[in-house]
């Protein structure tokens, strides 16, 4: 972990709370990605030879071993991850057809300009004894779908696997849509750019758990490394850089989304009643369509979609928000975007209430502790689910099982909430939108 945690005493005032937050989320400022955003995107990543990539630091921030060492350990112990690479490693290691071709020939010079952490993984993958693993790797994006009741570890697993491992192994761009109910990405905040909708008032508050301490208004950069503002999904994609993590605040005005998705979005300001008001989580439809259709970037990108059941409900109806058009359109856009290296990490409470046309396009699922095995009769899931019915009751916090149509792999991750000592919530809100909602 990067630093000792501080605590403050319960007589502290606003300045002490603010200082506590600043210390606990001290930014990681010396990477290529930090410099890229600091310079307003004017310096390419290659122009800063002596700096490292964020992905070379984040796994260390979580106290984890480098992934190439994990791979060597899995090989030595013949771990299921090694035996069934398509049930787990295929989702973590992203290689294009051209990468696979170079690896088959043992040509590692192709990766000379990549982060060292990726070079080590590629070197491992090119060894003749690991040929079956290489053969299991698919071109394009993949992702996974984690399901459980709240509190079972979905978000923390994504902090580690999408935030730390994707950047370490693939120099992946990570776009994490925040829900505003919870600041899901806090453990990654020192490495994160907060992407804010242009012209929308955003307030950020630190709310200590100890209620003798005051809640205080803070700047986004007291928590996050830096910020950017975007006007629509295409503009956001244009500002992203390889290997960087974005905490994306969805645009409550959904600018650009109607055109991209060809369905209607109604902001709180335009809605006649609460029924008509579009849920913020639906902004992600716009982003996935932009990624599928606009070819702004083809760099491997992971979109993290928490509460995915809210944007992709089963058997949608065409209501005032064109829910059916959006949901059915998502399956198609998701398929296209995946060919262009977009991976989606879905998190939801239940696979059974998640839209089936999207389920049919999924390849990997993650079942959390104390979560019943889903029914194989659900369309899109394998007829015979490869985990035992009560498998997940044997899992502890910080463990899960990843599976595909044939095999399963038990996995674990370090507790990301231990990377900081601030005890409380970072609460983000859109005050003008709340006023508009209250008026409905």
Ligand X SMILES: Nc1ncnc2c1ncn2[C@@H]1O[C@H](COP(=O)(O)OP(=O)(O)O)[C@@H](O)[C@H]1O
Phi, psi torsion values for 412, nearest 5 degrees: -150, 165
Question: In 3-state terms, what secondary structure has residue 343?
Answer: strand
User: Any contact of residue 348 with Mg ion (CB under 5 A)?
Assistant: no
User: With respect to ligand X, which residue has the nearer C-beta, 133 or 248?
Assistant: 248
User: With respect to ligand X, which residue has the nearer C-beta, 120 or 147?
Assistant: 147
What is the rounded CA–CA span in Å between residue 429 and residue 412? 33
CB 346 within 8 Å of CB 303 = no
Which residues in the 180-239 window bind ligand X by CB under 6 A?
none
Q: Which of 90, 155, 192, 193 touches ligand X (CB under 6 A)?
A: 155
Could you tell me which residues come within 8 angstroms of residue 122 by beta carbon, excluding any fewer than 6 positions away?
95, 99, 103, 108, 111, 114
User: With respect to ligand X, which residue has the nearer C-beta, 49 or 150?
Assistant: 150
User: Any contact of residue 57 with Mg ion (CB under 5 A)?
Assistant: no
Q: Which of 31, 90, 126, 156 touches ligand X (CB under 6 A)?
A: 156
What is the rounded CA–CA span in Å between residue 20 and residue 12? 10
Q: Which of 148, 266, 277, 321 touches ligand X (CB under 6 A)?
A: 148
Taking the chain, what is the end-to-end CA distance rounded to the nearest angstrom? 47
Strand order in the sheet with 203-208: 216-218, 203-208, 424-429
Q: Which does 152 bind (CB under 5 to 8 A by kind): ligand X, Mg ion, none?
A: ligand X
User: Any contact of residue 170 with Mg ion (CB under 5 A)?
Assistant: no
User: With respect to Mg ion, which residue has the nearer C-beta, 80 or 414?
Assistant: 414
- Residue 294's nearest CA partner among 260, 326, 327 is 260
User: With respect to ligand X, which residue has the nearer C-beta, 264 or 371?
Assistant: 371
Report the residue closest to ligand X, judged by CB.
398
Which residues in the 401-420 window bind ligand X by CB under 6 A?
413-415, 417
Q: How many residues form the binding site for ligand X (CB under 6 A)?
A: 14
CB 170 within 8 Å of CB 122 = no
Instruction: Please choose, out of 98-106, 130-138, 151-159, 390-398, the segment that lies near Mg ion by the rule CB under 5 A.
Output: 151-159
Positive or negative, the CA dihedral 261, 239, 44, 338 is negative
In Å, how far are 286, 328, 331, 339, 377 from 92, measured between CA atoms? 25, 27, 22, 16, 28
Q: Which of 382, 397, 407, 436 touches ligand X (CB under 6 A)?
A: 397
User: With respect to ligand X, which residue has the nearer C-beta, 304 or 385?
Assistant: 304
Taking the complex as a whole, the smallest distance from the CB of residue 306 to Mg ion amounts, in Å, to 6
User: Any contact of residue 154 with ligand X (CB under 6 A)?
Assistant: yes
User: Any contact of residue 155 with Mg ion (CB under 5 A)?
Assistant: yes
- Binding positions for Mg ion, rule: CB under 5 A: 155
């Amino acid at each position: 972990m990067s630093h000792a945690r501080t605590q403050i005493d319960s007589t502290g005032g606003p300045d002490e709370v603010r200082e506590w937050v600043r210390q606990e989320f001290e930014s990681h400022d010396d990477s290529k990605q930090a410099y890229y955003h600091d310079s307003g995107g004017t310096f390419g990543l290659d122009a800063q030879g002596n700096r490292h990539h964020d992905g070379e630091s984040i796994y260390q921030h979580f106290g984890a071993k480098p992934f190439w060492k994990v791979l060597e350990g899995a090989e030595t112990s013949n771990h299921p991850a090694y035996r069934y690479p398509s049930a787990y490693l295929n989702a973590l290691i992203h290689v294009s057809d051209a990468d696979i071709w170079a690896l088959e020939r043992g040509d590692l010079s192709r990766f000379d300009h990549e982060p060292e952490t990726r070079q080590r993984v590629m070197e491992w993958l090119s060894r003749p004894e690991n040929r079956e693993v290489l053969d299991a790797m698919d071109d394009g994006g993949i992702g996974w779908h984690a399901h459980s009741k709240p509190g079972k570890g979905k978000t923390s697993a994504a902090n580690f696997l999408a935030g730390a491992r994707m950047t370490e192994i693939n120099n992946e761009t990570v776009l994490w849509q925040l829900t505003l109910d919870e600041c899901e990405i806090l453990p990654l905040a020192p490495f994160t750019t907060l992407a804010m909708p242009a012209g929308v008032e955003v307030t950020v508050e630190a709310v200590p758990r100890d209620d003798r301490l005051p809640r205080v208004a803070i700047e986004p950069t007291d928590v996050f490394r830096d910020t950017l503002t975007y006007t629509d999904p295409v503009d956001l994609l244009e500002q992203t850089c390889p290997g960087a993590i974005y905490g994306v605040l969805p645009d409550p005005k959904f600018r650009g989304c109607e055109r991209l998705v060809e369905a209607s979005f109604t902001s709180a300001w335009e809605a006649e009643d609460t029924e008509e008001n579009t849920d913020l989580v639906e902004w992600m439809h716009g982003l996935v369509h932009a990624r599928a259709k606009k070819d702004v970037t083809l760099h491997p990108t992971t979109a993290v979609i928490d509460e995915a059941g809210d944007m992709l409900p089963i058997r949608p109806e065409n209501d005032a928000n064109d829910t059916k058009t959006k949901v059915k359109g998502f399956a198609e856009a998701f398929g296209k975007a995946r060919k262009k290296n977009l991976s989606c990490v879905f998190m939801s409470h239940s696979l059974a209430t998640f839209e089936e046309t999207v389920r049919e396009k999924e390849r990997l699922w993650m079942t959390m502790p104390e979560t019943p095995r889903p029914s194989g009769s659900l369309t899109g899931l394998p007829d015979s689910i490869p985990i035992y019915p009560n498998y997940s009751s044997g899992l502890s916090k910080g463990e899960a099982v990843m599976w595909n149509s044939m095999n399963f792999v038990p996995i674990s991750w370090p507790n990301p909430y231990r990377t900081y000592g601030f005890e409380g919530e970072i609460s983000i809100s859109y005050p003008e939108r709340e006023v508009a909602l209250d008026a409905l």
